[in-house]
Chain A
Amino acid sequence: MTTKQSETPESAVPRPPTFSRKDLLDIESITEDDIRLVLDTAESMREINQRSIKKVPALRGKLVANLFFENSTRTRFSFEIAERRLSADSIALSATGTSVAKGETLLDTGRNLMAMAPDAIVIRHQRSGAPHLLARHLPCAIVNAGDGAHAHPTQALLDAFTIRRAKGSLAGLRVAICGDVSHSRVARSNVSLLTKMGAGVTLFGPATLLPVEIERTGARVVTRVEEAVEGADVVMILRVQKERGGGLGFPSDKEYFELFGLTPARRRLAKKDAIVMHPGPMNRGVEIDSAVADGPDSVILDQVENGVAVRMAVLYLLIGASGDE
């Protein structure tokens, strides 16, 4: 990180390693400085993850509750591993369904949990805004681990971390994000983060899978997948979310793959040194060809690996000791 010499003497004092907010709900509500702080902190966390003893006492005595109201393997494991590596006590509640379906409201679940004094609640929920509901009513830190079609801020941060490690920086990069944008919280958070950090984002989705006025994000929106991929430094492929109605947007998997899937031929339109990303889980042979997903440019498993470091950073910055205790 560079520091300008002309600034006031205070700028020489290192920033306290704390976040500017109580919660991490979405990318829109955090600053560029917050993002840099997370990514820089994640570098140190990554180093911890490469030691033979992958554990530090940073969050000893802190309690983190993981509330997953929607199926998740990657994100849930990633958070749980992050919590353990920081020595936090961690509990998990898996439930499926909405307030209505499970007979207790989300708010009541949250309040009951709060009575046991967690320092942070990590929540994954199929309803957009569910983490905001908890954040409004509970005093602990709320970490959004994906809410409906709204936001997935830790995914965007780990994607940014992965890109930064591969490319050195985010500013000036050309990033293509392709697929089912309508249902994708990953796309929304990534567009928000990448444009905020000075990357140029091009979006492609079948017209049926693009939300209205998406061009107002600042991303360039194109009508052919080839146009999006051409000349890109990063190609990010989105999962077709059939469980959210994505299937109504195209006639068949076969047609989707033929017209929009990332095949080796389409991959070659991007820069030679481009990286290929996917937030998982993949529909092989639908949005991406296995030859690309498993190919030399794929950083899909790096994304998973980096997820742990980024989530360690987020938890540490939100609830870690900041010297004022």
Chain B
Amino acid sequence: MSEAVLLKGGRVVDPSRNLDQTLDVLLRDGVVAKVDERIAAKGADVVDAAGLVVAPGFVDLHTHLREPGFEYKETVATGTRAAAAGGFTTVCAMANTLPVLDDAPSVAFLVRRIRETAVVRVHPIGAVSKGLKGLTLAEIGSMKAEGIVAVSDDGKPIANGMLMRRALEYASMFGLPVVVHEEDPSLVGDGVMNEGWASTRLGLPGWPNVGESAMVARDVQLAALTKARLHVAHVSTRESLEAIRAARRAGVAVTCEVTPHHLTLTDEDVARSGYDTRFKMNPPLRSEADRAALVAALVEGTIDAVATDHAPHHEDEKALEFEDAPFGVTGLETALPVLVDALLVPRAITLQRLVDVLSTAPARVFSLPGGTLAEGAPADVVVFSTTKSTHVTRDGFVSRSKNSPWTARTLRGRVEHTFVGGREVFARGAGAAEGPR
């Protein structure tokens, strides 16, 4: 492959510059060299992008790569190849590995694994508390020096209000957002699906909306008190959105994300599935009223970004009774087609906003490079179709795990090419390329 790639005649959508126009894009020396009409570039590899969308590569704020400790579920190598296949050029790796990313050496180890095996950019997220136990602060300052971009105990809530306050205060010294998985354990108990008509019929323990929103209400007030940066992970209820909206109006520095599954599926999908554990995740799929409120909030901007919460699990772990199976679904490879099919095709969202929430906005939320095709920016680019379909199959996943609720579904929208630093890391039909040396 030569040094330069010319993406010819695509519909270039770049929310960072409010751009939506048919143009050529030249990638050279790892950066976006030029975006213009009819670029002539001798010796460049030419990709015909006619009829396709050319956009800044997607940025995932919430990915579980499972390495170290759970390599049978996913690794940096397989997870980042899955990311590339889904059009993601940057992912943020959550801290709930084994050992937990709660000190400098563990982050340094992961950074080395990323350098050796990743095919997209990976930014580690450090733990808030040692061992995710919610008792004492992890070594946030030392981890910052190793490159973490945020702190989170994701997978577990920070039940202790004083620890949450200290986390916000301490993380703000290093300019790091605190990412919260909002769940009041005393209200959620052993809940495994949304509390509602569906859980009543299925006889499964319910996980009520207030289990999330009560914690959001606490944390936006703590963020106001501490003037720190709060980011609410995978928001799932309309009451949480109300609390976030009110906080923002009051000038609190709070951002939030939503997953593709919470935007498109509900607890009735759990009921229809007949206790299929591929529909079990935390927070659980909510009611139709919540789902609709999430879509509206994403379109209007209360929700900043879409994040996958890609949570790979082995098929054996999921082949259990519903209550006993682990929470989580994979999401990197299906995010774009799910959103195109469920939101873009029915015109619930514009193409500009869709690219924004997958790319530009998340990069801004964690202050990451990327999310733009401005000349001189890293050449992280996704090329996708909004008309071609993706047929999701169990054996088609690049990820090591197959726990997707969309298996056997055909969805409009398909990623065709992914470039990281100007190198092609995914091409439809060709699989992922080798990692950078």
- Hey, which bits of chain A sit against chain B, CB under 8 A? 28, 98-100, 105-107, 125, 127-130, 132-133, 136, 147-151, 185, 188, 211-214, 216
Is A213's CB under 8 angstroms from B275's CB?
no
| Residues of chain B contacted by A99 (CB below 8 angstroms) | 320-321, 324
Is B196's CB under 8 angstroms from A148's CB?
no
CB distance from A321 to the nearest CB of B (A): 29
Q: What 9 A-B pairs come out closest when comparing CB atoms?
A: A129-B275, A150-B203, A149-B203, A127-B321, A128-B203, A211-B200, A213-B197, A129-B322, A132-B275
- Please name 7 further chain A to chain B contacts, defined as beta carbons within 8 Å, in addition to the given A128-B322, A133-B319, A213-B196, sorted by A numbering: A99-B320, A99-B321, A105-B319, A129-B204, A133-B275, A151-B203, A212-B195
- Hey, which bits of chain B sit against chain A, CB under 8 A? 195-197, 199-204, 206, 208, 274-275, 316, 319-324
- Point out which of A151, A212, A214 has the most chain B C-beta atoms below 10 A from its C-beta: A212
Is B321's CB under 8 angstroms from A133's CB?
yes
CB distance from A183 to the nearest CB of B (A): 9
| Residues of chain A contacted by B201 (CB below 8 angstroms) | 28, 188
Q: A99-B320, A100-B324, A129-B321 are in contact. Are A212 and B274 (CB under 8 A)?
A: no
| Residues of chain B contacted by A106 (CB below 8 angstroms) | 320-321
| Residues of chain B contacted by A214 (CB below 8 angstroms) | 200
Contact of B204 among A28, A105, A128, A212 (CB under 8 A): A128
Distance of A136 Cα from B278 Cα, bound (Å): 14
Residue of B nearest to A151 (CB): B203
Contact of A128 among B195, B316, B323 (CB under 8 A): B323
Q: Can you list 14 A-B contacts (CB < 8 A)?
A: A98-B323, A105-B320, A106-B320, A106-B321, A128-B203, A128-B204, A128-B275, A129-B322, A133-B320, A149-B204, A150-B203, A212-B197, A213-B200, A214-B200
- Point out which of A129, A147, A211 has the most chain B C-beta atoms below 10 A from its C-beta: A129
CB distance from A64 to the nearest CB of B (A): 22
Q: A106-B321, A107-B319, A150-B203 are in contact. Are A129 and B197 (CB under 8 A)?
A: no
Contact of B197 among A128, A133, A188, A216 (CB under 8 A): A216
Residue of B nearest to A107 (CB): B319
| Residues of chain A contacted by B323 (CB below 8 angstroms) | 98, 127-128, 148
Distance of A298 Cα from B420 Cα, bound (Å): 75
Distance of A99 Cα from B197 Cα, bound (Å): 27
| Residues of chain B contacted by A28 (CB below 8 angstroms) | 201
Q: A128-B203, A129-B275, A136-B274 are in contact. Are A212 and B321 (CB under 8 A)?
A: no
Contact of B324 among A127, A188, A213, A216 (CB under 8 A): A127
Residue of B nearest to A130 (CB): B321
Q: A129-B275, A136-B274, A212-B195 are in contact. Are A150 and B319 (CB under 8 A)?
A: no
| Residues of chain A contacted by B208 (CB below 8 angstroms) | 212
CB distance from B285 to the nearest CB of A (A): 15
Residue of A nearest to B323 (CB): A127
| Residues of chain B contacted by A133 (CB below 8 angstroms) | 275, 319-321
CB distance from A275 to the nearest CB of B (A): 26
Distance of A206 Cα from B112 Cα, bound (Å): 58
CB distance from A248 to the nearest CB of B (A): 10
Q: A100-B324, A106-B321, A136-B274 are in contact. Are A128 and B200 (CB under 8 A)?
A: no
Residue of B nearest to A108 (CB): B319
Distance of A150 Cα from B201 Cα, bound (Å): 7
| Residues of chain A contacted by B199 (CB below 8 angstroms) | 211-212
Is A129's CB under 8 angstroms from B200's CB?
no
Distance of A193 Cα from B319 Cα, bound (Å): 30
Distance of A105 Cα from B203 Cα, bound (Å): 21
| Residues of chain B contacted by A148 (CB below 8 angstroms) | 203-204, 323
Is A129's CB under 8 angstroms from B324's CB?
no
Residue of A nearest to B205 (CB): A149
Is B206's CB under 8 angstroms from A129's CB?
no
Is B203's CB under 8 angstroms from A147's CB?
yes
| Residues of chain B contacted by A211 (CB below 8 angstroms) | 199-200, 206
- Point out which of A106, A127, A147, A188 has the most chain B C-beta atoms below 10 A from its C-beta: A127
Residue of B nearest to A69 (CB): B321
| Residues of chain B contacted by A213 (CB below 8 angstroms) | 196-197, 200
CB distance from B182 to the nearest CB of A (A): 20
Residue of B nearest to A214 (CB): B200
CB distance from A128 to the nearest CB of B (A): 4
CB distance from B435 to the nearest CB of A (A): 36
Distance of A1 Cα from B274 Cα, bound (Å): 33
Distance of A303 Cα from B135 Cα, bound (Å): 54
- Point out which of A128, A212, A213, A216 has the most chain B C-beta atoms below 10 A from its C-beta: A128
Distance of A147 Cα from B203 Cα, bound (Å): 9
CB distance from B280 to the nearest CB of A (A): 11
CB distance from A123 to the nearest CB of B (A): 11
CB distance from A222 to the nearest CB of B (A): 17
| Residues of chain A contacted by B206 (CB below 8 angstroms) | 211-212
- Point out which of B197, B200, B203, B324 has the most chain A C-beta atoms below 10 A from its C-beta: B203
Distance of A127 Cα from B321 Cα, bound (Å): 7
Distance of A211 Cα from B196 Cα, bound (Å): 8
| Residues of chain A contacted by B275 (CB below 8 angstroms) | 128-129, 132-133
| Residues of chain B contacted by A128 (CB below 8 angstroms) | 202-204, 275, 322-323
Distance of A188 Cα from B200 Cα, bound (Å): 9
Q: A129-B321, A129-B322, A136-B274 are in contact. Are A185 and B197 (CB under 8 A)?
A: no
Is B202's CB under 8 angstroms from A150's CB?
yes
Contact of A212 among B196, B203, B322, B324 (CB under 8 A): B196
Is B200's CB under 8 angstroms from A212's CB?
yes
Distance of A149 Cα from B204 Cα, bound (Å): 7
| Residues of chain B contacted by A98 (CB below 8 angstroms) | 321, 323-324
CB distance from A36 to the nearest CB of B (A): 23
Distance of A136 Cα from B319 Cα, bound (Å): 11
Residue of B nearest to A181 (CB): B200
Distance of A321 Cα from B229 Cα, bound (Å): 69
Distance of A217 Cα from B275 Cα, bound (Å): 20
Q: A136-B274, A216-B197 are in contact. Are A129 and B320 (CB under 8 A)?
A: no
Distance of A212 Cα from B203 Cα, bound (Å): 11
CB distance from A121 to the nearest CB of B (A): 15
CB distance from A247 to the nearest CB of B (A): 14
